[in-house]
Amino acid sequence: MLMVAGGSWRAQPRITLPDGVLGVSFGTARRYTDVSGKQMCAIVPALADPPVFDRGVTEISYGVQLQPRTVRSASARVVAPSGQGELQSVPCHAFTLIKGGFSQTQVGSTISRVDKAPLKSGAYTLRVTVDGQTADIKFRIE
């Protein structure tokens, strides 16, 4: 079972991720097209745990790595401080071919404000739900 360590601001206890979750990454998504023409994205390099974004950041990305052929349903969403304005989300999912179909191997998104202004400073939560199990992962924008 993978644990995400909390930091001091933190007083966030260790978080047990749902079964089937291999890890969670935060950072900036790098979007590219693979040799087959499929749009892909990766978070490279990922921020250290617990993730803290600099003040003035206009977008953040997260990726939840899933165990192939194990997870049946997965979702994730960011809960932001109030008074922020409308947020938009650009998916950063990944799938792999398996016999008989596809298996989702990552669920993720890049979050930004619709008006392109910096995201509000404060505490945020990434709520991850996998096969009915939920975990809340805290992060900050300074």
pLDDT in tens, the chain (142 residues): 223 333 333 444 578 999 999 999 999 888 888 787 777 778 878 888 879 999 999 999 999 999 988 898 999 999 999 888 889 999 888 888 778 777 889 999 999 999 999 999 999 999 999 999 999 999 999 9
CA dihedral angle for residue 128, residue 10, residue 83, residue 141, rounded to 10 degrees: -90
Instruction: Show me where the domains of the chain are located.
Output: 3-141
pTM equals 0.83
pLDDT at residue number 13? 57
Q: Is residue 25 within 8 Å of residue 63, measured between CB atoms?
A: yes
Q: Is residue 66 within 8 Å of residue 130, measured between CB atoms?
A: yes
Q: Write out the two tokens for 83.
A: 């008074």
Q: Thinking of the domain 3-141, which architecture would CATH place it in?
A: Sandwich (2.60)
Cα 45 from chain centroid (whole Å): 14
pLDDT at residue number 88? 95
Distances in Å between the Cα of 4 and the Cα atoms of 36, 88, 108 are 35, 26, 17
